[in-house]
Amino acid sequence: MAPKNSAPLESTRIDRWLSAVRIFKTRSLASDALNGGKIKLNGVAVKPNKTVKIGDSVSLKKEGRTYAYEVLGIIEKRVGAAIAETMYNLTVDADLPEDMRELTQLYHSMQTEPKRRGKPSKKDRRLIEKLKYDH
């Protein structure tokens, strides 16, 4: 969100953007991740002072999953979650083919917290069968 009476921002430092859109809790955590080479801007590991523009791609790996963010808006100040989510498009496991993304999503959802007790639904059974016999 741009300040009142000024033009919208065209670019900003990547560490500021990462903390403003709530990908990292603080700017220093974003800077540490950038300095460690854990975040890539358009496929290249960058330092915190690199600028990010609308249309850029920011990717990071976290807990064995790849998160790819397409930059839709530039902000420098931390805003509410509802506004922050409008500043990017998120793709989880972007490096995987579409069918594998669905299976990976099912796997991670089963690992974190079970949604129901008892036997799996018809959709879940089909995905489990596909996971068992496709590899």
Residue-level length of the chain: 135
* pTM of the predicted model as reported, rounded to 2 decimal places: 0.69
Q: For a pLDDT cut of 90, what percent of the chain falls above it?
A: 46
Q: Which domains does the chain have, with CATH numbers?
A: 1-94 (3.10.290.10), 96-135 (no CATH)
Beta bridge partners of 66: 61
Q: Average pLDDT in the 111-117 region?
A: 62
Residue pair 40/56 in contact (Cβ under 8 Å)? The answer is: no
Q: For a pLDDT cut of 70, what percent of the chain falls above it?
A: 87
**pLDDT tens for each residue of 17-66:** 999 999 999 999 999 999 998 999 999 999 999 999 999 999 998 877 78
- Looking at residue 89, its amino acid is N
The yes-or-no verdict on residue 78 having pLDDT over 60 is: yes
- Residue of 87 and 105 predicted with greater confidence: 87
Residue 45 is encoded by which pair of tokens?
């590991």
Confidence tier at 69 by pLDDT (50, 70, 90): very high
Residue pair 41/57 in contact (Cβ under 8 Å)? The answer is: yes
